[in-house]
Amino acid sequence: MIIHVEHSGVTDLAADLRTIAVEAGARMAPVVDKNVRLGERTAKRLAKASSGLHGKNYFKRITSESHGLEGEWGPHDGGVPVGGGWRHGENTDQDRSADLVAPKFARDVANEADKLFWPGA
């Protein structure tokens, strides 16, 4: 993102930056929520595709939640995750889902930041 100021004083820019600091949290929370839900769906899709008979229902354990500017997705259970033990190797569904969601999340954050600096553009 590049800041470009035309025919404006530093006072106007300072005022804009104060407003942006207040508005950013409320405007970014839906971006976080949308991408966390996408992460959950992606992880479930990957889990379904990679599971064998031992883990055919593993995808049902994957949930997500977001609160404001924080969120997470992953398996939600009190036991040992399927595929997490030495017999089955390491489960990489979560890592792969994060790798797939991260670029889109970064673009969404950058687009929302642009809207804060240039409303209506």
> Among the residues of 1-121, which ranges form H helices?
10-50, 93-117
Of 42, 48, 40, 99, the C-alpha closest to 74 is 40
Find residue 71's DSSP bridge partners.
66
Cα distances from 12 to residues 5, 7, 18, 33, 86, in angstroms, run: 10, 10, 10, 32, 60
pLDDT band at 70 (very low <50, low <70, confident <90, very high): very high
Token pair for 121: 């553009």
86-96 pLDDT, tens digit each: 455 677 888 99
Q: Which of 34, 106, 103, 43 is nearest to 73 (CA)?
A: 43
Instruction: Give the pTM.
Output: 0.77
| 17-21, 45-49, 94-98: segment of lowest average pLDDT | 17-21
